[in-house]
Amino acid sequence: MKYAYYPGCSLSSTGVEYDISTKKVAESLGIELWEIPEWNCCGASSAHLTDHLLALALPARNLAIAEEKGLDVAIPCAACYARCKATEVEVKDSKEMQKTISEVIERQYTGKAQARALLDVFVNDLGLQSISTLVNKPLKDLKVVSYYGCLLVRPPRLGFDDAEDPQSMDKLIEALGGTPVDWAFKTECCGAAHATTKSEVGFPMIEKILTAAKEAGADCIATACPLCMSNLDMRQTQVGAKYGKNYSLPVFYFTELMGIALGLNPEELGISKHFVDALGIVKKLNEAAGRRDTA
Amino acid sequence: MKRVGVFVCHCGTNISAAVDCEKVAENAKSFPGVAYSTDYKYMCAEPGQELIKKAIKEQKLDRIVVASCSPRMHEPTFRRCIESGGLNAYLLEMANIREHCSWVHPDDKERATIKATDLVKMAVAKVMQNEALVRSTIPITKRALVIGGGIAGIQAALDIANAGHIVDVVEKEPSIGGRMAQVDKTFPTLDCSACILTPKMVDVANHPNVNLITYSEIEKVEGYVGNFDVTIRKKARSVDLKACTGCGTCIQKCPTKVPSEFEMEMMDRKAIFTPFPQAIPNKPVIDRESCRYFKSGKCGVCQKVCPTNAVDFTQEDELVTERYGAIVAATGFDLFDDSVYGEYGYGKYKDVITGLHFERLLNASGPTMGKIKRPSDGKIPQNVVFIKCVGSRDEAKGKAYCSKTCCMYTAKHATLVREKIKDSNAYVFYMDVRTPGKGYDEFYTRTTDQYGAKYIRGRVSKIYEKGDKLIVWGEDTLLGRPVEIEADMVVLATAMVAKADAAKLAQMVGFSYDQNNFYTEAHPKLAPVETHTAGVFLAGACQGPKDIPESVAQASAAAVKVCGLLSKEEMPTEPIISAVNEAICSGCGMCVPVCPYTAIDLKVIQERVHGKTVSRKIANVNSGLCQGCGACTVACRSAALNLKHFTNEQILAEVDALCL
């Protein structure tokens, strides 16, 4: 199995552990990731607020390079995925747009190379069965709420899962030996950049999600988006202080949880980079496993 | 020599404002075969028709072209006209210079006149090729079949039976009554559904002209209008209807409990059961899938306790074939599957239910004896949220259409919550409130003004459980702000959808259905109860979402159509049907599957070739079934099939007239 790999800007900065864990896990699972050479920014929210064509042309260049190579593109970041998918669909829908974009980027992109969410690739291409057979440190008794965020499974007609009550990450957690905890905030918005620019809007949104996860009885949160990670992890103490709460809720990229279950070294997966201590829970998990082994 | 008469109609100013009718009539005089040509203000009016009849006589005309409106409008009129003038009705051709010319080219009289002239020229060329066709007749079997024993089927059957005809009602379930039997009260009068339905159920059961065939399904339909041969599968009831007295002892003693479909699985029934207390026939049936005897061979308690020996485990399905003159499809509707709305948690949260569940909770013989209680813990809810348009008017996840009944039943539900539960709140999330029916808007106004239901314009984005509450997030689009309600129960106004097997039945009988599997009427305005298949009529929600008054009205209309058909001994058939040129038919059979009316089959004929008798297959058109659509003539590779009145030669004559 081989895919073009588009990490996107966040994965080389705030979300570097997402990049590290993705590569490590893919390697363990036998998935070859060919990083798109000289990839450019997907445009994120800035481009599509500025100019529609720009918002399509930026991802199209990366997709075109993958298309030349004959590969679909695996994309970990939910926002990058959303922009790339939007481009793919628009190009497929309109020959005219395809022509315009090709002129702008000076490359051919016909929509043949598909934008795929990394989670989709793992769950639906590789399959849960294959993953579970490779698990050697199951996430036993770890109660995980899966947090998909607002972009990963939307818009509905394009998504690879139910847009309101998605299941793929929950099923993945189960395949890793963990306990997926059902909750109603799977696709609630984390507030995105509002936490930075308008904290009076952003903080209550984060608070709702963290509180709901806590009330659902979760030990930790699994996510698939670097911005969601920042909000839930980096802002957690700040939000807790504002609302007088101590959440102590570790937040993981789903790839990190996969890495742990596949027996990779947590430090090497980048888990030590989190703001809310996440190593502790992994350690406990390993200790419990050790006790089970000796008993 | 053929002598064609051309009659150009002004249609008041409908045509003459855009087309120079006098000039068209003048031009027509030069067309080959035209012996006479004139124009008149209203050709369809009495003087216009007299003009035609007089000209036939005086000018010795033997075929006629009328240049006027669409043949859908007045072809029958002019056919009758020339028939009374002494000509065969099929020696008429219409040139549509209104819908096809004056109405679409109102601004260019010169060119519109040229086009009208061309249309007349084509019609003249065709009428020269027309042949006199003779209508034949087919006998009519004086017996009607109603498929479906809900309120629509019951009403249609009663009306047909009261007119003196024999009717068989085939119902899939063990009892007639349908969806209306599940409903508690009916809008806009709030009278009890059972109180108005059950007398009708009894009437239809006791009517000397009606045979109820319950727990049965249509297996096969052959034949055509006047003579449908229908095979009915009578499913094994495992109870002898004649011997059973309906005492109910077997039901009491049966040890197996399964969720009751009728009670929306909020209550149990036994494996031997009647769906509801007022069932007709009020005699039980054994559900073999859950019955202990059929699963393991042990038990047989029902048989032991039956005082009349009516329980018969050895019964088998029985196939009966009966001939009918007419069929009414009244198969009703199903509910949309709300679980596609992950955000509402239907199927996950016990207290998120459909409107039909709520009907059962309101009903005195339902699972809560008519007290509104939560399915989860039996507590009486204080805050009830209603969400309208769940599955309706939602192309992304549901159906594009409006389910029509939900605005009213939701208003009814909200009223009943406020009436039955002290200090309760009824919140209704809506996109629009649609109440076009007699007394409907008044009812809705009472719901808000008198009963104080709180209507919120907007959609619900999410429902989740918090403790024993359901938190409902929505938007009030009139105030432009988010709304959060702590609800105890949420009721979804679920879309009405076609029955799961609706398409199967339509294919079997041979009539059409739309993209949503609702049955298609012959004309949305002018033939709302007919189908495109002669002798098959529609009643109730199988044709599209409908409430009770509308279903009943449509059922009576369908019954009138049936009675009209059955009142005759025989009926004329349209002679515009396909004909096979047996000499060139190769018997390839390409025409058989393309025929939408199953009118073509292959027959074997004997021929003498070089002194030897050989047999070969050729296509055979059933004149009773053929509707003259012409699909087979296109599929036929050797042009052996030709549609009378639209033959290849006739069509080509038109093309030649225009193009040569």
* Chain B, nearest residue to A156 by Cα: B396
Residue pLDDT, tens place only, B528-552: 999 988 899 999 999 999 999 999 9
Structural fold of domain A2-117: Glutathione S-transferase Yfyf (Class Pi); Chain A, domain 2 (1.20.1050)
pLDDT given at position B488: 98
pLDDT given at position A291: 80
CB-nearest to A156 from B396, B464, B466 is: B396
Name residues 246-275 of chain A within 8 A of B (Cβ): none
* Nearest Cα residue to B602 out of B632, B574, B573: B632
Q: Which two tokens stand for residue B250?
A: 């077997």
Distances B175 to B201, B215, B238 between C-alpha atoms, Å: 10, 7, 15
Domains and CATH numbers, chain B: 4-129 (3.40.50), 136-235+317-332+499-570 (3.50.50.60), 237-316 (3.30.70), 334-497 (3.50.50.60), 578-644 (3.30.70.20)
As averages over each run of 10 residues, the pLDDT of chain A (295 residues) reads: 96 95 96 96 90 96 97 96 95 95 95 96 96 94 95 87 93 97 93 92 96 95 96 96 95 97 93 94 85 72
Q: How confident is the model at residue B598 (pLDDT cuts 50, 70, 90)?
A: confident
Q: Is A182 on the interface with B (CB under 8 A)?
A: yes
Residue pLDDT, tens place only, B134-172: 988 889 999 999 999 999 999 999 999 999 999 999 999
CB-nearest to A164 from B341, B465, B471 is: B341
- Whether residues B465 and A162 touch (CB distance < 8 A) is answered with no
Structural fold of domain A128-294: Rossmann fold (3.40.50)
Amino acid at A79: A
Distances B34 to A13, B20, B22, B84 between C-alpha atoms, Å: 89, 19, 16, 21
- List the beta bridge partners of residue B519: B513
Give kind and range of the element (H or E) at residue B558. Answer: helix B548-566
pLDDT above 90 (res B597): no
A165 min Cα distance to partner chain B (Å): 5
Interface test with A, best of B397, B463, B468, B469 (most A CBs within 10 A): B397
Q: Is B564 exposed, middle or buried (0-12, 13-18, 19+ CB in 10 A)?
A: exposed
A12 min Cα distance to partner chain B (Å): 34
pLDDT given at position A44: 87
pLDDT above 80 (res B624): no
Return d(Cα B329, Cα B511) in angstroms, integer: 10
pLDDT given at position A295: 63
CB-nearest to A184 from B396, B397, B464 is: B464
Stretch B301-323: mean pLDDT: 96
Residue pLDDT, tens place only, A125-141: 999 999 999 999 999 99
DSSP, collapsed to helix, strand or coil, labels residue B633 as helix
Rounded to 5 degrees, φ, ψ at A242 are: -65, -40
pLDDT above 70 (res B511): yes
Domain with CATH 3.40.50.11810 in chain A: 128-294
Return d(Cα A249, Cα A258) in angstroms, integer: 18
Return d(Cα B507, Cα A185) in angstroms, integer: 45
State how beta strands B227-234 and B191-192 pair.
unpaired
Q: Which two tokens stand for residue A86?
A: 């939007």
pLDDT given at position B396: 86
Return d(Cα B347, Cα A268) in angstroms, integer: 42
Domain with CATH 1.20.1050.140 in chain A: 2-117
Q: How confident is the model at residue B526 (pLDDT cuts 50, 70, 90)?
A: confident
What 8-state DSSP symbol labels residue B401?
Answer: S
Rounded to 5°, angle at Cα B335 from B388 and B234: 160
Stretch B198-220: mean pLDDT: 97
- Whether residues B343 and A182 touch (CB distance < 8 A) is answered with no
Residue pLDDT, tens place only, B355-364: 999 999 999 9
Report the percentage of chain B scoring pLDDT > 70.
100
pLDDT above 80 (res B442): yes
DSSP, collapsed to helix, strand or coil, labels residue B577 as coil
Q: A35, A74 in Cβ contact below 8 A?
A: no
Return d(Cα B513, Cα B222) in angstroms, integer: 19
A162 min Cα distance to partner chain B (Å): 7
Residue indicated by tokens 């899966």: A146
Residue pLDDT, tens place only, A85-125: 999 999 999 999 999 999 999 999 999 999 999 999 999 99
